Amino acid sequence: MLKAKFQATIITVLLFIGLLGLWNMRRGGPRQASAAQAEPAKETWHKEFDAICAKTEDAMTFSQEELTDLIRRCDTLRPQIEKLDESQKKVYLERLRKCRGLYDYVLDAKRKEKK
């Protein structure tokens, strides 16, 4: 009688552990997969664009050398964007122009400040 009860407890515990494992797999596994699908890997030009234009709000804190480098990176990126399809080119060239314009503006202001 005791043996049967012990066996039933063991089976219940094992079942519980198994179900818990399955539930965790369902929760974690596909979610990671869908997240990866939802955010496709960005192309190299796009990564560079994000890296350059993510700094506009800190432009005033950069040194003249850092600003010059950002402007140079904008100029290097421009021909790559010009090769994109018409819609992407239209949007990203305009955005790049704004980023570059701001860095150039801050650099100019810093130069004038030094004089």
Give Cα separations from 88 to 16, 70, 71, 83 (angstroms). 53, 21, 21, 9
Q: Is 113 helix (H, G, I), strand (E, B) or coil?
A: helix
What single-letter amino acid sits at 60? M
Tokens 């804190």 sit on residue: 61
Site for other proteins in 17-76 (CB under 8 A): 49-50, 53-59, 61
CB of 35 to other proteins, least distance (A): 13
In the bound state with other proteins, the residue whose beta carbon lies nearer, of 32 and 87, is 87
End-to-end CA distance of the chain: 97
CB of 113 to other proteins, least distance (A): 8
In the bound state with other proteins, the residue whose beta carbon lies nearer, of 47 and 72, is 47
In the bound state with other proteins, the residue whose beta carbon lies nearer, of 10 and 50, is 50
Give Cα separations from 14 to 19, 60, 84, 86 (angstroms). 9, 62, 57, 60
Find the part of the chain contacting other proteins (CB under 8 A) among 21-29, 63-71, 73-81, 101-109.
101-109
Give residues in contact with other proteins (CB under 8 A). 49-50, 53-59, 61, 86-88, 90-92, 94-95, 98-99, 101-102, 104-106, 108-109, 112
